[in-house]
Chain A
């Protein structure tokens, strides 16, 4: 066994898996509170990364300023998208809403290509030090930052849903919209907030990946990776989304390792998560953390 390579893959899996987890959480957030399957989740990463890149290169803003501007932009973007495009779809058949989000996904991809071109664009240098030493290993600063940001976002979500008034209101809306309204919660505002948070946090993930790999179309592909992660975790569980994301991240990397060492099939990196997904769903149809209704005895 090649232990160095294995450790490296473990690290990679954890770091990318945590990011999948973050994006999966954003997907679940929208699904839980508005019952919409958002096929344009990956495009949120793409748009966020491009907008930030644009602030940093064209406007030559310092990173922190450009980053904050991007978050502000994505907040408005999420709210406008929900109010203008998705609010009128309330009450329409689920399949129509799905077609709309698929349409949005295609539209945003094309729009980004049209505005920013088809080439991979590197982010301007964000860190002065390129690598730092952790437990004797040299690790890219961007990777460490990525892991910290993912953790930070997860803790933020936990706090938001456990302790903040708006987080509780969002959970109440997810549980039963009529009850939420009877408590004085504006369901419309909750919907808009869910889309805004989802857009902002996804954009952060997009920027992080953009800093490591450069900004390109392939960012939107993360949106596809999110499906095995959320289905694995149980479509409606935030914790499940994180665990699912990390599992998918690790799986990809180990599948590649195993393939390189023994099978030599090729392309396992992309396909393995879906195989495992099928197997897990056969054993646990609600996913690992999905809820069935509470049965009182």
Chain B
């Protein structure tokens, strides 16, 4: 498989998730042996239908699982050679992994600048350095600069930009992005994805991107995984996945309809092939 070719040298791996199982509330088994690799500097995407366990995978990496009574009960999460499974979220952020949670989750009763300053909470840098970085965020998201009111009044697209901008403020080595396209118009989705790719290239931030919008995610990624019911069912490079018949049928429907058409097909018998 292509995975072997990609992960030839483990020194080039930023993150390696090895066969993890995740259990919520000590009984609900949600991930049933998930493995994935993220090379340094890459943009890797994790696709799959609602409820597959994508967000859970990200939380298992960032340590936020603990805030929801979840636990990694088997396997490990190797980041820069160290197992960080079940680590505290504070430490994971300090170590350079920042999760942008599903639904943006900006702090609505604060201003844009206050949100951005909080992104830099774990940093020890001077106020001047932080200010410079806020300007850097405004360089990538110029429209945020004009918004001086509370973040709660920003549009959905602007909130997503703020959520991504806030993650950059932590000076991360790796960002985990959970469904940045959720609830955005097609035009905005395009804009947001282009910025994500730019940030990945220009700032060299490694990204693990969870999406239901397979069209967009596959267009911009280097490598992709597809997940269903708590398991990885397929993986490959961008080209391999784009040319795969099953992926075409289930994930790459016409235009913005792919989500709807996939839902219709979800119980379809051909799905068995991936299980």
Contact = CB atoms under 8 A, between A and B. Distances in A.
Interface stretch (A4-12, A165-173, A259-267): A165-173
From B94, B107, B154, residue with most partner A Cβ within 10 Å? B107
B176 to A, nearest CB: 10
B118 A181 contact: no
A247 B218 CA distance: 61
A184 B166 CA distance: 12
A177 interface: yes
Given A184-B94, A184-B121, A296-B153, A178 B67 contact: yes
B92 to A, nearest CB: 8
Interface secondary structure of A, over-half rule: helix
Give the interface residue-count category, chain B: 20 to 34
B110 A168 contact: yes
B204 to A, nearest CB: 21
A182 B88 CA distance: 10
A296 B89 contact: no
Interface in B116-156: 117-119, 121-122, 150, 152-155
A181 B121 contact: no
A294 B170 CA distance: 27
Interface string B97-127: 0110100010111100010011101100000
Interface residues of A, number: 20
Contact of B109 (A178, A181, A186, A294): A294
Interface string B70-94: 0000000000000000001110011
Contacts of B68: 178
B121 A183 contact: yes
Given A183-B118, A183-B170, 15 more contacts: A165-B117, A168-B117, A175-B108, A175-B109, A177-B67, A181-B67, A182-B98, A182-B105, A183-B121, A183-B166, A184-B89, A184-B94, A184-B170, A293-B108, A294-B152
Interface of A: 165, 168-169, 171-172, 175-179, 181-186, 291, 293-294, 296
